[in-house]
Structures are given as structure tokens and as C-alpha cells.
Amino acid sequence: MLNTIKARLIALCSGVVLLALLVATLASYFDARGHVRSQANAQLAEVARGQAQSIAESDAGIAEDLRRLIREEIAAGKSDDDIRDFLVARYGDFVLFKPPFKVSTALLWAGPFLLLGAGAVTMVLFFRRRERAAPPATLSPEEMARVSAALQEDPEPATRPTHGSGA
């Protein structure tokens, strides 16, 4: 009888250990799935610091907050679309790494091309104005003769004051 109690106790302990391992494995699986979803959602959002980094890549404080928010939303059972919609509703389309083309984001999409065009127009105008600038003034023959005469005259010897010479 003692052997059967021992065997049952060993079987019960083994079952509890196996059940604990199963629960840990399932928890790890679902946590890993949540982590993958969290990373995927973090790749969708951009940090608003002008560095073109997703919140998954950034070490900024706001990126940490957004990653935590995404993990909480995943833990609450929200779908990826729900999380994306929540981020857009809270922060606007500008939070997305690839925002949709809308009227509100048109400047965001067209801005680089507009700046490039403005720079090209500015350069063209600058070089055209430079070409139209008046040519350097030339001296008339009378003025040339006066300058030549002034250069060939012997200047009067300069008298230099003596400072502190004790005279």
C-alpha cells in the first residue's frame, strides 16, 4: 500500500510539473506572438523627432511610451487594425511611418518635391541675374591718361612724425 501511495504521489507531482511546463510554454508562445505583433505594429508608427525612425528602432522616451501602449492594446485583445486606428485617432496620420495620401497629408508627401523645385527655381534666378549684371565700368581715354599721369608723378617724401624720440 505504501508503494501505491508513493507511485500515485510521484505521478501527481510529475503531472503538476508537466502541467506547469505546458502552461509556461503556452505563455511563452502567446507572449512571443504578442511581441511579434508589438514589433510589427511598432514598425507602422514613426517617432515625431524628424529622424525617420520607427518606434521599434528609436530609443526616444515617446517611442518607449508608444511601445508600451501597443503592448497594452495587444494584451487587451485588440487587433492590429484596431491598434493602428487608435494610434491614428490619437496622434493623426503623421504618426504612421507611411501615412496615406490625403488632403491633410498632401504637403507631407509633396513637400520634398516642392522644396527641390523651389531650390532649382532659386538657382536659375540667381544665375540669370548674375548674367544680367552690368559689366564692369571702363575708363574713358581721358580718365586713363589722368590715372597714368598720377601714377608716374613722384610723390612728395612723406614726413614721418617721430614718437618718443626725445627731441
**pTM for this one?**
0.40
Please give the grid coordinates belonging to residue 46: 514613426
Q: Which residues of the chain are under the pLDDT cut of 70?
A: 1-2, 18-19, 21-53, 134, 154-167
* pLDDT in the model for residue 127: 86
User: The C-alpha cell of 69 is what?
Assistant: 501602449
- CATH class for the domain made up of 7-100: mainly alpha
Report the pLDDT value the prediction gives residue 43, as an integer from 0 to 100.
53
Structure confidence at residue 2 (pLDDT): 65
Please list, in sequence order, all residues whose beta carbon lies within 8 angstroms of the beta carbon of residue 104, skipping any fewer than 6 positions away: 92, 93
pLDDT of residue 113: 92
pLDDT for the residue 45? 55
Give 84's contacts (C-beta < 8 A, 6+ positions apart).
41, 44, 96
